[in-house]
Amino acid sequence: MTNSLREIEDNEVLFITGSNTKEAHPVIANMMLKARRKGAKIIIADPRRVPLVRFAELWLQQRPGTDIALLNTMAHVILKEGLINEQFINEQTTGFNDWRASLDAFTPEAGEKLTGVPKGDLVRAARIYGCSRRAAIYYTMGITQHAQGTANVNAVANLALLTGNIGRPFTGINPLRGQNNVQGACDAGCLPNVYPGYQRVDIPLVQQTFERAWAMPLSVRPGLAATEITGKALEGAVKALYVMGENPVLGDPNTEHTRKGFQKLDFLVVQDIFLTETGMLADVVLPATCFAEKDGTFINTDRRVQRVRKAVEPPGEAREDWRVIAELSKRLGYEMRYESPEEIFEELGRLWPALEGITYGRLERGGIQWPCPTRSHPGTEFLYKGGFPRGKVSFTAVSMAPPVERADREYPLVLTTGRNLFQYHFGSMTRRAAPIESHAGKPYAEIHPEDAEHMRISQDETVRVTSRRGSIRLTARITERVRRGEIFIPMHYAEAAVNVLTNNEALDAFSKTPEFKITAVKVERLAQEG
Amino acid sequence: MEKPINSISLVIDGKQISVPSGTTILDAAKQVGITIPALCYHPKVSRSGACRVCIVEVGGTLVTACTTPVSGGMEVITNSPYVENMRRDLIDLILSDHPYDCMVCQKTGECELQELAYKYSIRNPVFRGERRQYAQKDGNPFIDRDMEKCILCGRCVKICDEVQGVGAIDFAYKGFWAKVCPPFEQDLNCEFCGQCVMVCPTGALIGKNWVARGRYWNMREVESTCPYCGVGCTLSLHVKENEIVRVTAKEGRGVNDGLLCVKGRFGYQFVSSPDRLKTPLIRRRKGGDLEPATWDEALGVVASRLKRVKEQYGPDAIAGLSSARCTTEDNYLFQKFMRAAVGTNNVDHCARL
């Protein structure tokens, strides 16, 4: 997030797109409701009737995969009606005129045709967002999990630049991060192209800094993204895989493909707290500690570094992840000597100035938001105050491209995947919490009443959902939460693992993010099998 | 534009104080360190003045401190014998229709009603009469709802509507039989965030899994950060005999300021699940089962296999997947291991998934 959670309640306008905030980030939804009680307007753009729609001034129910048309049309209207922030555009951006020309075609009429949203609503949304200088955008995987994900994000950013709704409190481009420490994992350099602090591995000066710090020659070749590893394993280019705390067999698109790839590996080691579906394929499984059994930090969605504290002793011989890694490293001939997670955190701070001012001691009083370069720095509530670090930033022209898969005669429905309120990710934790499992322990597919009627499917009937990759069986939940022609299946249930259906070849070209929000499927009654 | 703030001067229990206009007597008193007892007042919800326990004396009349705004020159007395007697009678009245089962009630020691009964030393209620008794129990798996202990303060109704935006419960029936319940007295079927449990002043709303798992004074409390989504809510883990037996959140701590969702509040049992991995496992031959092993053997196998792949195919034939669920420190060390010890940039995690 460019801005802070604390600012939400004082937003004037909240534009929420591709985020089911009430279920995926429930406590942020509380903050949004507080903003609404204080008079803020909520606009939601989402193909699904997410629970927050009930509180929205305006809900734009676009067809899946038409986010660019929706966002560009809003920009078109903001431009045409003179709601732009000229001073901001002149002082802080470049490429405005070229970009402006790219919007000519996105008239409200064209927008309506492309997105299915009435043009009057597109115009209203543009006016509400464009008229405010305390307007913030919130988005999640509904924007990014597309083959056009990067383009979608650029289109979101264009709106903020056009209105100058960034670099000030109560504004911003705010992706809500989905996992407790996904921010921290990225910040710490668990990405194939960057060292800690987003410092690129293919820049020699950067590489030399890290070679000195770690006293080891390092590779300049950027590595493989998570979604590329399976393919490379199948090709035989990747022979060994070390998985710590992930379950790619359920998490990656196209389960069959993942399973085959992992089975082809010479060696798979999995370090986790439970024997996951991935662990079952491993040659070695190492028992790890969970959040309650170790000290450390998580970094949340608003860049806040917060302490995790050991509360209980781990079961059996389970060990802290960092100790396992250090011991392994020693056995590979590269000694790592640390007494505590605190020492590791301090080393990270020396390599990335944004964390340098944060110490475990300071964190005792509460979380601190990076960048925090010195011990006396209070942390940074919102980014880009007084300008962008690289100077002016550019508008990016984004054009619409169709999704990789489209509904056709054989696979007439569009599948979207995501979370529900009760379960979490692939369920290894929440499915072992008795009350949650007894309340929300069964897989289901949300189907629009008209589609259900057409297919003669009744409520709670078991159905088979099939894509070009495979099929799963689960219960039909007939509901108007989904659009006609679309179904939604939560990702949490291994017995009806939705990634059996998804497409490993539909990836965003830049981020390698899979197109989990659009897969062509068919739904059949089991009785038809005869 | 913000309205200009007018300052108002008043006297509370002899203490002179200036507060912005619109401040209630209760909030003003807080600022000079005077706590006025209250059962329906809660800072997270709108005021109703329903319980009357916060009554104070202003110019000889009684007013509810939580709903009455201050005015210039006001003289407030919060603890005169008149006020205290009246409060005592109010508590006594509430207790006249309350099960006297504090010795087995999960809320004991944390109960606001019990604290007031203690403060006013109400051993036997003066007012004898009928007691509400309900046979029906709510079958939901998260929250025990014992409406015999409900004092109808309305905090739960308000937080559910105003803060959570759900409105799963409301007052039903009238007079003596007034009752907080879901529509048609069905079992509660809501988001199960448990904010209602957090604000309930008595034992009417309790986490089902907390029951008989220990008293709060026998628990250790450890402040930590929620292991689920990216909001990063601050949690208090209540630990008894090496087991988390309850999770709560404190007002004023962290971004969540006391709020939680169903996963954060009720999703902690995985920690002590019997399914947890307790020893390293090794598949000693291709196609065989995973069998328990010592750490030394397991780490030896991992090290030698990784070394062999590296020697035979080069470091880029090895890849590592790290975790958005692990700590920043674990992640830093993992990528350092892949880059410095293995020698590849093939390190990523599930940020995209």
Contacts of B209 in chain A (CB under 8 A): 434-435
Contact: B318, A238; criterion CB under 8 Å: yes
State pLDDT tens for residues A297-315.
Answer: 999 999 999 999 999 999 9
Q: Confirm or reject contact between B263 and chain A (CB < 8 A).
A: yes
Cβ distance of A181 and B332 shorter than 8 Å: no
Taking CB atoms and an 8 Å cutoff, what residues of chain B touch A182?
Answer: 230, 324, 349-351
In a domain, B170, yes or no: no
Within-domain flag for B249 = yes
Mean pLDDT of chain A: 96
Q: Do B73 and B20 sit in the same domain of this protein?
A: yes
Which of B45, B225, B306, B309 should be substituted to probe chain A, the one whose Cβ sees the most A Cβ atoms within 10 Å? B225
Select from A176, A211, A237 the last residue of a domain. A176
Q: Please report, for residues A23, B126, B254, B270, the alpha-carbon distance to residue B21 in angstroms, rounded to integers and kept in the order given.
A: 39, 40, 29, 50
Q: Which of residues 298-327 of A touch B (CB under 8 A)?
A: 298-302, 304-313, 315-322, 324-327
Same domain, A435 and A490: yes
pLDDT in tens, B240-250: 999 999 999 99
Domain presence at residue B334:
yes
Q: Say yes or no: A83 and A211 in one domain.
A: no
Task: Give the rounded percent of residues in chain B with a pLDDT score beyond 70.
Answer: 99
Asked if A184 lies within 8 A of B331 by C-beta distance, the reply is yes
Per the structure, the complete domain to which residue B342 belongs is given by 314-353
Name residues 295-324 of chain B within 8 A of A (Cβ): 295, 298-303, 305-307, 309, 312-313, 315-324
Reported ipTM = 0.96
Q: How many domains does chain B have?
A: 3
* More confident call, A71 vs B6: A71
Which residue of chain B comes nearest to A355, CA vs CA? B328
Mean pLDDT, chain B, rounded, equals 94
Decide if pLDDT at A321 tops 60.
Answer: yes
Question: A362 and A267, same structural domain?
Answer: no
Domain CATH for B240? 2.20.25.90
Looking at the structure, do residues A154 and A23 belong to the same domain, yes or no? Answer: yes
User: B347 — contact with chain A (CB < 8 Å)?
Assistant: yes
- Are A274 and B277 in contact (CB < 8 Å)? yes
Q: Say whether pLDDT at A530 is over 50.
A: no
Q: Cβ contacts (< 8 Å) between B353 and chain A: which residues? A: 226-227, 251-252, 514, 516
B119-139 pLDDT, tens per residue? 999 988 888 888 999 988 899
Examine residue A502 and state whether it is found in any structural domain, yes or no.
yes
Q: Output b/e per residue, B154-176; b: 16+ Cβ within 10 A.
A: bbbbbbbbbbbbbebbbeeeeee
- Whether B241 is covered by a domain: the verdict is yes
Determine the residue of chain A that is closest to B353 in CA distance: A251
A401 is a domain residue: no
Mean pLDDT, rounded, for A198-220: 96
| Last residue of one domain, picked from the residues B58, B79, B100 | B79
Task: Mark whether B19 and B73 lie in a shared domain.
Answer: yes
User: What CATH number did the domain enclosing A28 receive?
Assistant: 3.40.228.10
Asked if the structure places residue B97 within a domain, the reply is no
Chain centre to alpha carbon of residue A346: 28
A494 touches chain B (CB under 8 A): no
- Burial degree of B13 (CB within 10 A; 0-12, 13-18, 19+): middle
Residue range(s) defining the domain that contains residue A109: 5-176
Q: Which sign does the torsion angle of CA A355, A357, A363, A369 carry?
A: negative
The answer on pLDDT for B177 being more than 90 is yes
In a domain, A381, yes or no: no
Instruction: For residues A274 and A140, state if they share a domain.
Output: no
Q: Tell me, yes or no, whether A75 and A109 share the same domain.
A: yes
- Structural domain total, chain A: 4
In a domain, B73, yes or no: yes
Boundary of a domain, candidates B53, B79, B105: B79
Domain boundary among the residues B45, B79, B113 is at B79
Check whether A355 has a pLDDT greater than 90: yes
pLDDT for B287: 87
Angstroms from B137 CA to nearest CA on chain A: 16
Chain B residue with minimum CA distance to A26: B261
Q: Are residues A95 and A62 in the same domain?
A: yes
Question: Does B322 reside within a domain?
Answer: yes
pLDDT band at B5 (very low <50, low <70, confident <90, very high): low
Residue A192 clears pLDDT 80, i.e. is over it: yes
Q: Rounded distance, CA B38 to CA B116, Å?
A: 9
Domain assignment of residue B159, yes or no: no
Strand A393-394 to strand A462-466: parallel, antiparallel, or no bridges (unpaired)?
unpaired
Is the Cβ pair A308, B327 closer than 8 Å? yes
Query: Which CATH number fits the domain that encloses residue A477?
Result: 2.40.40.20
User: Are A415 and A496 contacting, i.e. CB atoms less than 8 angstroms apart?
Assistant: no
Q: Same structural domain for residues A170 and A182?
A: no
Where does the pLDDT of residue B43 fall: very low under 50, low under 70, confident under 90, or very high at 90 and above?
very high
Confidence of residue B1 (pLDDT cuts 50, 70, 90): very low
CA–CA dist A322, A512 (Å, integer):
28
Contacts of A252 in chain B (CB under 8 A): 353
Q: Which of A148, A55, A228 is nearest to A404 (CA)?
A: A148
pLDDT average, residue stretch B62-68 = 95
Is A396 among the domain residues? Answer: no
**Is the domain of A189 the same as that of A127?**
no
Chain segment A332-342, per-residue pLDDT in tens: 999 999 999 99
- Indicate which CATH number applies to the domain containing A333: 3.40.50.740
Q: Is B102 at the interface with chain A, CB within 8 A?
A: no
The verdict on B172 touching A (C-beta cutoff 8 Å) is: no
Residues A140 and A231 in one domain: no
Q: How far is B341 from chain A (nearest CA, A)?
A: 5
Are the C-beta atoms of residues A460 and B295 closer than 8 Å to each other? no
Q: Flag whether A19 is in a domain.
A: yes
Kindly state whether residues A159 and A102 are assigned to the same domain.
Answer: yes
Q: Is residue A508 assigned to a domain? A: yes
If you search the block for the tokens 């830049």, which residue do you land on?
A510
Tell me which chain B residues have a C-beta less than 8 angstroms from the C-beta of A33: 163-165
How near does any CA of chain B get to the CA of A529, in Å? 34
The reply to whether A23 and A168 lie within a common domain is yes
Which 3 state secondary structure label does DSSP give B290? strand
In the stretch 57-116 of chain A, residues with CB closer than 8 A to chain B read none
Q: Is the pLDDT of residue B257 over 50?
A: yes
Is residue A315 one of the residues assigned to a domain? no
Q: Is residue A382 part of a domain?
A: no
Chain B residues with CB under 8 Å of A321 CB are: 326-327, 330, 333-334
Distance CA B15, CA B30 (A): 12
- Contact at CB, B352 and A225, closer than 8 angstroms: yes
HSE (side-chain half, CA atoms, 13 Å) at A384: 25
